[in-house]
Structure 1
Amino acid sequence: MATPISTIPKIRDALRATFRSGLTRPIAWRQHQLYQLARMAQNERELICDALKKDLGKPKTEVLMAEVGCVIERAVKSAEQLPVWAKAEYPEVADWQKPWKPTLYKAPRGTALIISPWNYPMILTFQPLIGAIAAGCTAVLKPSELVPTFSQLLDEIVPKYLDPNVYRVVNGAVPETSKLLELQWDHIFYTGNGRVARIIASAAAKHLTPLTLELGGKSPVIIDSAYDIDLAAKRILWGKCNNAGQICVAPDYVLVQRDKQDELIKAFQKHYDSFFPNGALDSPLFGSIGSDLHHKRITSLLSRTKGEVVLKGRSDAARRRLEPTIVKNVSEGDSLLEEEIFGPVLPIVPVDSLKQAVDFVNARSHPLVLYVFSDNENVKQQVVSETQSGGIVFNDTFQQVAVHELPFAGVGESGYGYQVMKHTYDTFTQLRSSIDMPREAEPYLAIRYPPHSEEAVQALTAAVHTPIPSSRL
């Protein structure tokens, strides 16, 4: 059920009043809310799994592993590490400035808006919220209308575990989201696609609201011809099968040496048969496509490809099912290279050299993640130095999201801003600079007051004459 639009400004105002009251400031209070979030995920996991099964056809094991378990683990770890994160910092300064007590305080940004997508609706709603709670912010959660069962469940269970004066759920579609975006927020965290991100960025600009945009794009895979093709195929296919390829870090297309393409295809077929002996169409281990519209979009891309379909995935539009599909000999201008596929279709683009693969990647928008399969350190360093992407992963796919200590972020079209654990905490935290000038410093400050003697001018402008070391290329 949609939240009445007339109540949305009142919700924002109430959360802002709560923030100003100081309720969220104590570290122990924040820790309690984080533990409560973990308890909610743990206690309500069956309802969560049932909701995501109904909305998305998600396998239960996948939900427990990639959504429920992640929320529990990250909430608990954030609570445990919060006292260290929140400590004031004292930067190293010149001896003559030390009496000023230069300090960096960790201040919450204020009242945040978190807009989450449909593909991983639990982790992508609560991962930002974990950081907002840890930082001491109040927040509105706006889950996707494309997962109505799950979104309604959040409206019911969140107030049972989290303080409703501090954290609220707003449900609805475009009208409700538009009303939210009319309002001023202290931070907006959006996960989704670039088209909607531009709308959100434009709305935020009117209030100079800082943004985190976690987007997507076409995340390519480069395979070094000397690498174990069988192992690469197994790891790539596994990454592509998670949530039926409907995740921003799914491998989108593969660049492989032309004479290795057929070997790669045989390996894909071998591992597909191993993963799904009876096919993926009816497998409880393989998810459904998120919506009828999304299913039509993917099958339309497939229908227009000029590549050769070599692993033909069966389709059942009525149930929004589509098996993994491999397409070879895909070339520039093909339908499968137009946009992020966001589904279980994997095009293979044959190349004649590593340089050609790198040039192919660089000719497109910066991906969220670049996957590279190689044991050659020179190859790895070449790709690191000659490409741009939000992240770069060697010799696996998808698994990088399990490393809590690494920041997750895009670059360019794939978004900006950092998240996961401390990085999410930092996103919702302002570094508040401070000095405390002692009375005893006054004799040393006298030089700054006008009128200035010639000696004072020389001292005050001494930095202008700083010796600059010579440099040679």
Structure 2
Amino acid sequence: MQANIVPDTSLSELTQAHATLKRSFRSGKLRDISYRKLQLAQLAYLLQDNYIAFQESLARDFGKHPLEANIGETGVVFERTLDAINNLDKWLASEDLSHETNPMFSGFKPTLFKQSRGPVMIIGPFNAPILLTLQPLMGAIAAGCPAIIKPSDLTIHTSSLIHTLVHKYLDSDCYRVVMGGVEQVTALLQLKWSSICYTGGAQVGKIVALAAAKQMTHVTLELGGKCPVILDSNVDIDTAARRILWGKMINAGQVCISPDYVLTPRHIQDKFITSLKKAWNEFFPDGALKSPDTGGIINDRHFYRVLSMLQHTKGEIVIGGNADVKRRKLEVTVVKDVQPGDSLLDDEIFGPILAVVPVSDVDEALEYIEGNPEPLAVYVFSQDEAFKTKVRENTISGSLIYNDTFFQLNVAQLPVTGIGASGYGYQGGKYAFETFIHQRPSMDVPVEAEPHLSIRYPPYTQTTYDVLSQGLLQTEVPLPRCQDKLANGKDLLAREAPPPSHQRGVPS
């Protein structure tokens, strides 16, 4: 099945769709777990029945290889949708906290209930339009939230197919697809949602966050950033080169977790380049432009943006660099001797270019990363546990991956998450469900407890104070006092512990 191009949704339809979703949520049918499972099953059938059509639409939009379409998009969402069906009862089970709380409150049934937030909006990106649009939808269905899905206007064939199939397979009173661009998103952001999930660039992410703040709306931002690779000098350099180059070639580098630049010890830069050339020739024996395994850049604007970055670099192009303007295709390209301030280090490349930045040592690498916005991922290639620990303790990023790139997306139990400039909130697998769930705390205080609770009522007396304050602030602190507030924690623990409070004149 190949859907026809669907026209933009009119603005009047947006308010009608929003009202329909609100009515459906109030009707209560989404509270039925069997209904949610049925809708999840329809989503699974949508993917299973139409994966060939999705391959074709992704190829038409920007030349994505069918294998990448299967293992990186439709297959991932399909498997995680089945996981949601099989585990939804467990995910939704309330949590009894009576055994974890103060014994005084254990009889009051302290509980966490998993409650749907309400109507939500999902804004998907162009680079993984199935994975990053339909996976959040899976989470919304599992959480019992009706949803508006706004796929990218850049992947018009895939977005049109999503529009056609969602309305064919799912309950249109609860799940609607909106086509269009800035005008439609702007209008949608003026409506009140219980949660917004946005995946894309930081510039639009700020607009979404601001609009959400005005409505006091919960928001999840999955952004990007320049994901660095830190290379240790004693690694298996051929393996590292293959894994780094593979991570860069996926989707022509148009992935938020794509390795952006490599911080390599200066004395092994040329050896690393030699290993990259070896891997490049193995991957693309007839050249990267002729390879059917690599796709193109999504549109002319992005193509010329990436090409301009390459044309203005002061580094040396040592691998690739050729382009096919007609197909908007650029070879997987490696540039060495890239220095801070270079065109390749200004913004996220989001294309098939790998910048190699020579540094003196790991300290210089860490200093460079610390001086830039927080990335979505940091990749470390090392067999030295002390080296790994040093990077972990001295960097901040959404994720930290050792000795590979990109592969973390395949592990459903690991969330995709950003921090700081790379976003906030969690996505992927069960985390997509938790994005749209409110963990609602509850207590049930029985009438029979009134004789024991009545002392809390005014007028307060000395007896009230003595009974309710008894023991408060008197528990022994488990660590010693520190007059030197800058002292090392290990030094403090080695000091002699202070005497018990009753020996220090503290009233009991």
Structure-2-length-normalised TM-score: 0.92
The equivalent of 1:106 in structure 2 is 114
Aligned to 1:81: 87
| 2:216 aligned with 1:205 | no
Query: Greater Rg, structure 1 or structure 2?
Result: 2
Q: Which runs of 4+ in 1 moved over 6 A?
A: none
Aligned length: 473
Q: Measure, in 1, the Cα distance between the counterparts of 2:276 and 2:321.
A: 13
**Residue matched to 1:55:** 61
Shift, 1:46, TM fit? 1.4
> Deviation per CA, 1:45-99, whole angstroms, max 9, x where unpaired?
1111111111111111110111110011010011111110100001121222121
Residue 186 of structure 2 aligns with which residue?
A: 178
SS for the counterpart of 1:172 is coil
Residue 223 of structure 2: aligned partner: 215
Q: Does 1:371 align with 2:379?
A: yes
Deviation by residue 1:328-372 (Cα, 9 ceiling, x = unmatched): 000011000000000000000001111111111111001000000
Q: Secondary structure at the match of 1:63?
A: helix
Q: Deviations over 1:145-174 (max 9, x none)?
A: 001111111111111111111100000011
Per-residue CA deviation, residues 229-263 of structure 1 (Å, 9 max, x unaligned), is 11100000000010011000000000000010011
* Amino acid aligned to 2:128: Y
Q: Give the structure 2 partner of residue 434 of structure 1.
A: 442
3-state SS in 2 of match to 1:96: coil
User: Would you say 1:268 and 2:279 are equivalent positions?
Assistant: no
Corresponding residue for residue 425 of structure 1 = 433
Say yes or no: does 1:349 pair with 2:349: no
* Greater CA drift, 169-178 or 279-288: 279-288
Deviation at 1:464, TM superposition (A): 4.3
Q: Give the match's secondary structure for 1:107.
A: strand
Aligned 1:251-330 pairs, distance under 5 A? 251-330=259-338
CA distance in 1, matches of 2:224, 2:458: 56
Sort the Cα spacing of 1:463 and 1:191 in 2 relative to 1 into closer, same or farther, 3 A: farther
Q: What is the CA-CA distance between 1:35 and the residue it aligns to?
A: 1.4
Q: What secondary structure does 1:156 align onto?
A: helix
2:242 alignment counterpart: 234
- Of 142, 146, 157, the residue aligned with 2:165 is 157
Once the 2 structures are TM-superposed, how far is the Cα of residue 465 of structure 1 from its aligned partner? Answer: 2.6
> Alignment partner for residue 190 of structure 1, among 198, 205, 218?
198
The residue aligned with 2:142 is: 134
Is 1:39 the equivalent of 2:45? yes
In the alignment, which residue of structure 2 is the partner of 1:120? Answer: 128
Secondary structure, counterpart of 1:346 in structure 2: strand
User: Aligned pair in 2 of structure 1 residues 463, 214: CA closer, same or farther (>3 Å)?
Assistant: farther
**Displacement, 1:23?**
1.0
User: Which amino acid in structure 1 is aligned with residue 105 of structure 2?
Assistant: Q
Q: What is the rounded CA distance, in whole Å, between the counterparts of 1:392 and 1:448 in structure 2?
A: 50
Amino acid at match of 1:128: P
The structure 2 residue matched to 1:383, chosen from 377, 391, 396, is: 391
Are residues 1:3 and 2:9 paired?
Answer: yes
In 2, the alpha carbon distance for the partners of 1:349 and 1:343 equals 17
3-state secondary structure, aligned to 2:172? coil
1:65 aligns with 2:71: yes
Q: TM-score, normalised by structure 1?
A: 0.98
Looking at structure 2, the residues matched to 96 and 371 of structure 1 have their Cα atoms a distance apart, in angstroms, of 48
Paired with 2:432 and 2:160, the residues of 1 have a C-alpha distance of 25
- SS class of match (1:46): helix
Pairing 1:22-33 to 2, within 5 Å after superposition: 22-33=28-39
Distance in 2, matches of 1:370 and 1:362, equals 12
Distance 2:262 2:290 in 1: 27
Match of 1:336 among 334, 339, 344: 344
Q: 2:153 matched to which residue of 1?
A: 145
Shift in alpha-carbon separation, 1:281–1:463, aligned structure 2, 3 A: farther
1:459 positional shift: 2.3
Q: Distance in 1 between matches of 2:474 and 2:172?
A: 57
Q: Please, which runs of 5 or more residues in structure 2 have no aligned partner?
A: 1-6, 483-488, 490-508
Once residues 464 and 366 of structure 1 are traced to their aligned partners in structure 2, the CA distance between those partners, rounded to angstroms, is 42
TM-superposition CA deviations, 1:278-325 (whole Å, max 9, x none)? 012122111111111111000100111000110133101111110111
CA distance in 2, matches of 1:179, 1:362: 38
- How far does residue 201 in structure 1 lie from its aligned partner after superposition? 1.1
| Secondary structure of the structure 2 residue equivalent to 1:465 | coil
Matches within 5 A, 1:447-458: 447-458=455-466
Tell me, in whole angstroms, the C-alpha distance in 2 between the residues paired with 1:190 and 1:463: 48
Secondary structure at the residue paired with 1:318?
Answer: coil
Counterpart Cα distance in 2 of 1:418 and 1:336: 29
Q: CA deviation at 1:468?
A: 4.5
Q: Secondary structure at the match of 1:121?
A: coil
Q: Gaps (5+ residues) in structure 1?
A: none
Question: Separation in 2 of the partners of 1:108 and 1:466?
Answer: 41
**Post-superposition offset of 1:453:** 2.4
